[in-house]
Structure 1
Amino acid sequence: MNLFHERMRGFERRNFILIVLDGSLFAFAISFLSEATIIPAFVQTLTGSAALVGLVGATYALGRYLPQLVGAHLALGRARRKPALFWIVVAERIGILAIALTAQAVGLWDTGVVVVLFFLAFCAYAITTGLIGPVYGDFVAKALPRSRGWYYGMSQLLGGVLGFASALTAERLLSEWAFPVGNQIAFWLCFGLSFLSIPLVASLRDEAYPDVEPRRPLSRTLQSIPGLVAGDTAYRRFLGVRAILASATAGMGFVVVHGLAEGYISNAEAAVVAAVFILSQAAGGFLLSLLGNYRGWKSVIVMGGLLLTVSMTGALFAHDLVGVALVYAALGAANATTIIGDPNVSIELAPPSHTSIYLGTTSTLLAPFFVFGPLLGGAVAETTGYPVIFVVAGILAAVGFILSLFLPEPRKLRRGEARLVGQPGTTP
């Protein structure tokens, strides 16, 4: 082991604690801004438009997944990952501030103007979450070579417990304060709490890579992607399955909106559903992290497909708060697949020098499937109703689940290779 790896392992315990605390605190804060429940309910109450509710999921997916290749490119050619990570974290908090400021204009400005500004702010925030994905993932792979699985599990568990508490707080706010005041308070709390995690990121320890190739133009990175995907059969099959399952998430935001439209849940109860979603994502993420750490990350993808199938089937029969909560319990655990399964499968399939590129490619290529699903769902709901969305999503989830059973296990493919994840990303 060279001096670089010795030093990084010396920082591993410190970095593990700081990264888990940062992820947990941010999860607590961001629960006040849940894109799966609270934001769709906010837009539904503000506009009454199913199409705009669909735009929430599409906007978040577009910002969350499409820019990740740009984020991966930012990590290339850098001896240290921490500076890029830190400044994207700051930008992310500024995006949350913009959302809070825009929501404050409800009732003061024309609704159409507020809606446009709100979606611009929400898109800006989503883009920062996309940029940070591969940079954060690459730093985790570099900083936690022996404890990556435990990091994902612990951050999901602690973040979920805290997120559950914040979602219950949001429910009280939305119950006790008439629209839009409850939402406005929740968004300001999200901003204030998220800002507290910045010192944790600033305290991370990073060691300069001894040998780093110069970063080539972004165009060269983008041009390399088709060859990368075409030349890696296992990675290509993984992307195909995940594309189908990503399309199946189109119905996620519409379950709570259907309940609001039919009158069997209230705007405040949407926050209760958010709490269930967060707690389930935490518990499911923790258990799936352990499963992936010890049995391989393919099993996480398989479980995600099964949970999506169950949740979309259940959405057809949910006609009260308990039923909707059970659906979101399954959706929360399924969502953990995207959070922990996709990056870890990508890391294990990637050659050591291509970690950030694989991470960015996965999210960017899956982005259209996360984006267009909610948009099409919103358009369909306007004419045929929400149950049709749930049927189509359930069929897609079932197909993805069956195909996932035949994926190769990445760990077996790389068995026998000398591998240290998180080595410096270089342009292929």
Structure 2
Amino acid sequence: MIGRDIRQLQSKHPEFVARMESYYRWNFIALAFDSSIYAFAVAALSQDTIIPYFVEKLTDKSWIIGLVPAIYYFGFFLPQLIGAYLVNGRRTKKKFVLKVAITERFGVMLVAIVAQLFGLFSNTMILILLLVAYMIFSVTNGMISPGYSDFISKSIVKNRGFFYGFTNGLGGIIGFGSSLFSHYLLDNYAFPFNLRILFWTALATSVISPIIIANFKEEPYPEQVKPEPLGTFIRSIPKHIKHNPDFSRFMISRAVLGLGVLGNAYFALYNRHTLSLPDASLAIFNMIILITQSVLGFLWGWIGDRFGYKVVYVIVSLFVVLQGVFGVWAKAPWMFYSIAFFIGGVYASIRICDPNMIFEIAPTSETGRYIGINNTLVGPVMTMAPLIGGLLVDLFSHQVLFYSVIFVGVISALLVISLMPHIHRERS
């Protein structure tokens, strides 16, 4: 399957596409292994289980636990416009991606150091240091996305759904290993020793990634795009949204789907207490999320390549509804773990469908810009969602929060059906 953007690029710059196609197999393997190896660190610093577990040891306030996913989404999505600006006008992206990747490891190291400092300072001080360290990790994790995605859009010239499914699957296998390791540590060692081992191991595995990135193969983009001043770059956002109705409709429906994460940080912690499950159940919950991301990642890529990614967004909107339903009526462990399955399915769709939709919608020379605009504008919704979730718990109850998740899922499904563009690909 060849995307609309690649067909346009072939008609204008066939030599460039032919050259990148000659690197296809090498970059496919390198990109897949880079993304999947880093998945170990991402799973070890999960915003839904591991870091909330750490925060729960430091405070009993639900809204502070909600800060963890809020910080992750804020750091991951909002700075992407800056990341897009920094790669705008660059004919090559690898050098920028490599620099940010090295900085990412600094964020992982800071989280490990904070865990090491537990007991030497007050819980309040450790909590502040943890949230700051996690913010640095999240910001660097997001800053790399526009340049990395732009590189993928030029390197993976065909079968992108399969590529993202394969990458997601391989990352899920490695993330599954991370969750098994987490389960072993949480089950056999006391806090904070269990998290100290986990975080330092995550750092050790993550340093492999920059070595792989340094060996990516790239050709300079044939069109020279003049870099814009930051002010001009930001002021041009409304113009790009207005002149691309497919893009604006996609963003609106995608933002509402993003609101569906408002309960993700609370499902595991709440049901662990109500069902009297051990701490190790958090690692199992995380494990199921990662397995589901792997398995459904392949399925979402296959569906997207053949029937369009809009179909996937409809399915995962219904997954959000089911998260809330199982959250309200979870009376047995299998219902608790089913929530993790639905969360994993939604995460897989975001990882696979978001870039592929934008690759199709955006001009080929502006891929990074459009990814930055989308993620920066969707980011505030996903940042506020877990904070809203925490307030609903503190002011009302977990049940009210879970009913709200059901409501958001229904609205998301209706908006995806009525607003989101439906784009088909041609077979190569």
Residues 1:172 and 2:190 are matched in the alignment: no
In the alignment, which residue of structure 2 is the partner of 1:403?
Answer: 415
Asked whether the equivalents of residues 72 and 357 of structure 1 are also in contact (C-alpha less than 8 Å), the reply is yes
Q: Percent identity?
A: 31
Letter in 1 for 2:305: N
Q: CA deviation at 1:410?
A: 4.4
Q: Deviations over 1:23-74 (max 9, x none)?
A: 1111133211111111112211232221111000110010010011111111
SS of aligned partner of 2:117: coil
Q: Gaps spanning 5+ residues in structure 1: where?
A: 416-428
In the alignment, which residue of structure 2 is the partner of 1:186?
Answer: 198
In the alignment, which residue of structure 2 is the partner of 1:422?
Answer: none
Asked whether the equivalents of residues 318 and 327 of structure 1 are also in contact (C-alpha less than 8 Å), the reply is no
The one of 294, 299, 308 aligned to 1:296: 308
In the alignment, which residue of structure 2 is the partner of 1:307?
Answer: 319
Q: CA deviation at 1:362?
A: 1.0
Tell me the TM-score normalised to structure 1 length: 0.93
The aligned runs of 1:76-95 (5 Å cut-off) are 76-95=88-107
Q: Deviations over 1:331-361 (max 9, x none)?
A: 1111112111111111111122221111111
Residues 1:42 and 2:54 are matched in the alignment: yes
Separation in structure 1 between the aligned mates of residue 276 and residue 419 of structure 2, nearest angstrom:
40
In the alignment, which residue of structure 2 is the partner of 1:143?
Answer: 155
In the alignment, which residue of structure 1 is the partner of 2:17?
Answer: 5
In the alignment, which residue of structure 1 is the partner of 2:78?
Answer: 66
In the alignment, which residue of structure 2 is the partner of 1:223?
Answer: 235
Asked whether the equivalents of residues 159 and 305 of structure 2 are also in contact (C-alpha less than 8 Å), the reply is no
Q: CA deviation at 1:211?
A: 2.8
Residues 1:352 and 2:352 are matched in the alignment: no
The one of 55, 75, 83 aligned to 2:67: 55
In the alignment, which residue of structure 2 is the partner of 1:424?
Answer: none
Q: Gaps spanning 5+ residues in structure 2: where?
A: 1-12
Letter in 1 for 2:297: G
Tell me the TM-score normalised to structure 2 length: 0.93
In the alignment, which residue of structure 1 is the partner of 2:345?
Answer: 333
Separation in structure 2 between the aligned mates of residue 212 and residue 267 of structure 1, nearest angstrom:
54
Q: CA deviation at 1:380?
A: 2.0
Separation in structure 1 between the aligned mates of residue 390 and residue 415 of structure 2, nearest angstrom:
27
Letter in 2 for 1:70: I
Separation in structure 2 between the aligned mates of residue 385 and residue 265 of structure 1, nearest angstrom:
20
Relative to structure 2, which stretch is displaced further, 53-62 or 311-320? 311-320
The one of 327, 330, 336 aligned to 1:318: 330
Separation in structure 2 between the aligned mates of residue 257 and residue 368 of structure 1, nearest angstrom:
24
Residues 1:249 and 2:264 are matched in the alignment: no
Letter in 1 for 2:232: R
Residues 1:363 and 2:372 are matched in the alignment: no
Separation in structure 2 between the aligned mates of residue 67 and residue 164 of structure 1, nearest angstrom:
29
In the alignment, which residue of structure 1 is the partner of 2:286?
Answer: 274
Separation in structure 2 between the aligned mates of residue 248 and residue 79 of structure 1, nearest angstrom:
37
Q: CA deviation at 1:408?
A: 5.0
Separation in structure 1 between the aligned mates of residue 256 and residue 311 of structure 2, nearest angstrom:
17
In the alignment, which residue of structure 2 is the partner of 1:258?
Answer: 270
Separation in structure 2 between the aligned mates of residue 410 and residue 227 of structure 1, nearest angstrom:
22
Letter in 1 for 2:125: V
SS of aligned partner of 1:208: coil
Letter in 1 for 2:402: F
Residues 1:104 and 2:124 are matched in the alignment: no
SS of aligned partner of 1:78: coil
SS of aligned partner of 1:340: helix
User: How many residue pairs align between the two structures?
Assistant: 415
Letter in 2 for 1:8: M
Q: CA deviation at 1:262?
A: 3.2
Q: Deviations over 1:81-106 (max 9, x none)?
A: 10001111111111111111111111
Letter in 1 for 2:71: T
Asked whether the equivalents of residues 342 and 362 of structure 1 are also in contact (C-alpha less than 8 Å), the reply is no
In the alignment, which residue of structure 1 is the partner of 2:10?
Answer: none
In the alignment, which residue of structure 2 is the partner of 1:130?
Answer: 142
Asked whether the equivalents of residues 325 and 402 of structure 2 are also in contact (C-alpha less than 8 Å), the reply is yes
Residues 1:159 and 2:202 are matched in the alignment: no
Asked whether the equivalents of residues 96 and 147 of structure 2 are also in contact (C-alpha less than 8 Å), the reply is yes
Q: CA deviation at 1:148?
A: 2.0
Letter in 2 for 1:313: V
Q: CA deviation at 1:222?
A: 0.9
Letter in 2 for 1:318: A
CA separation of 1:408 and 1:263: change in aligned 2, threshold 3 A: closer
Across the aligned residues of Structure 1 and Structure 2, the Cα RMSD in angstroms comes to 1.7
Separation in structure 2 between the aligned mates of residue 395 and residue 147 of structure 1, nearest angstrom:
35
Letter in 1 for 2:122: D
Q: CA deviation at 1:223?
A: 0.7
In the alignment, which residue of structure 2 is the partner of 1:381?
Answer: 393
Residues 1:238 and 2:238 are matched in the alignment: no
Asked whether the equivalents of residues 92 and 129 of structure 1 are also in contact (C-alpha less than 8 Å), the reply is yes
Q: Deviations over 1:366-423 (max 9, x none)?
A: 11110111112112212312111111111011111122122454425x98xxxxxxxx
The runs of at least 4 aligned residues of structure 1 exceeding 6 Å deviation read none
In the alignment, which residue of structure 1 is the partner of 2:3?
Answer: none
SS of aligned partner of 2:423: helix
Asked whether the equivalents of residues 35 and 56 of structure 1 are also in contact (C-alpha less than 8 Å), the reply is yes
Letter in 1 for 2:187: S
Separation in structure 2 between the aligned mates of residue 173 and residue 3 of structure 1, nearest angstrom:
52
Separation in structure 2 between the aligned mates of residue 380 and residue 36 of structure 1, nearest angstrom:
17
